[in-house]
Amino acid sequence: MKKLNKNYILLLMASMFFMGMAGTDIYISALPRMVSDFNTTPNVINLTISIYTIGVAIFVVFADVLSNRFGRKPIIIISLCVYIVTSFLISLSPSIWVIVILRFIQSLVGFLFICTRQVLKDIMNQREQVRANGIILAGLIISPAIAPVIGAYLTHHFGWRSCFVFNGILGMLILILTLKILPETNYKKLKSLPKLNLYVMNYFHIFKDRFFLMITAIYASASGAFWAFIGISSYLYIDHLGVHPITYSYIYILMSVAYLLGNQYMLALNRAKASYNKIISIGVTFTLVGALVICTSDFFPITIVIIILVTLGSIFMRAANALTNPTTQVITINYFKRRGGLALGMAMSINYVAMSLGVFLVTLFHKEPLVGLILISLFFSFIGLGAFYIAKRRIAEHSKNF
């Protein structure tokens, strides 16, 4: 495949990641408004986030086998169509519980998170995949930068439902580009789906691998720590610290800059052929430093100081994602070779469970959001640090073969 075509495909994959992340990012600043509109509690409203991530955790497990059987492109197209339809239905729904159900269905977009990686694996070598994963995850840079700002303005002028109309229109544009640009890259499709018991056993063998569990714990803990911030930040900044929703949305621009800088640092280390141990160690350290910085904010009664310290700590945690996510994903997909897609699917599933858990746990402290953010971010950061020290020798051994 020509280099130009690879670049077009990379851009398309990144746009799909943007869309998937924007499905949540765009209405973050509207969460307190939704609590008021539906006359309910943050615990209920945040189910629209946690049920989405739980759904993704379920669907990514099946993405690999379905794309191996039917091809990458058909599964991607189906995911996009479901995303589009559910976005418009959510914008019209009068019930928060209907929205929760639709958000679960919408999480079928999780197929994209595996299929896009499989497309890259089909057309690139391992070092190219590290670079490509850094680029494809640009969706994680762009979405938190502009989606909350767009959502804040849409909510302010047209109400929070307009955020989901925007998502539906965006999905339609990406679907059109997919139909025109994306070729089918799976030329060795399975003749039939494997038996369910065989499929379950494959996942069982992957799950009981200790190295897989440690690598995935590193990956998931960094995400869980930052998603605790996502789950509670609107209530902390807007309700407790008095920040205007539009001003609050600008904080996510800083988060995107943090991811971009972390991403560029990761790419520079990769170009210099730095060991994966070094890249991951920096990532887990950033997560812990971020949690500790947030912890110090509890000692200051001044609002602006609290805002600065919480934001700074979250910046560190966001940069950590850029270092740990692509690196651990490439290690996982290549460590298991032919079962790499299955392993990555399970790793991403566990990662999304951790994200959902972060949102759920921190929301339990919605009356004391800063305390909740401190406790949950520290909890995840220590898990990641411990997993790294258990796995670092094996990472060094297997990285020699990558």
Q: What is the pLDDT of residues 99-139, one digit of tens each?
A: 999 999 999 988 887 888 788 777 776 666 667 776 776 66
303: pLDDT strictly greater than 80: yes
**pLDDT higher at 194 or 349:** 349
Question: CA 2: distance to chain centroid?
Answer: 29
187: pLDDT strictly greater than 60: yes
Nearest to 341 by CA among 9, 75, 10, 83: 75
Q: How many distinct structural domains can be found in the chain?
A: 1
Segment 286-291 shows an average pLDDT of 96
pLDDT band at 401 (very low <50, low <70, confident <90, very high): low
The residue range of the domain holding 140 is 3-399
Segment 156-175 shows an average pLDDT of 94
Q: Phi, psi (5° rounding) for residue 243?
A: -80, 135
3: pLDDT strictly greater than 60: no
* Residues whose CB falls within 8 Å of the CB of residue 273, separated by 6 or more in sequence, listed in order: none
Q: Of the given ranges (43-57, 58-72, 155-169, 217-231), which has the lowest mean pLDDT?
A: 58-72
Write the CATH number for 129: 1.20.1250.20
The pLDDT of residue 78? 94
pLDDT band at 1 (very low <50, low <70, confident <90, very high): very low
Segment 280-309 shows an average pLDDT of 94
The pLDDT of residue 4? 46
pTM: 0.84
The pLDDT of residue 208? 87
Pairwise CA distance, residues 47 & 265, whole Å: 34
Q: Of the given ranges (40-54, 218-232, 269-283, 325-339), which has the lowest mean pLDDT?
A: 325-339
327: pLDDT strictly greater than 80: yes
pLDDT band at 140 (very low <50, low <70, confident <90, very high): low
Percent of the chain whose pLDDT exceeds 90:
54
Q: Of the given ranges (54-63, 352-361, 370-379), which has the lowest mean pLDDT?
A: 54-63
Write out the two tokens for 53. Answer: 């991530």
Q: What is the mean pLDDT of the chain?
A: 88
The pLDDT of residue 26? 92
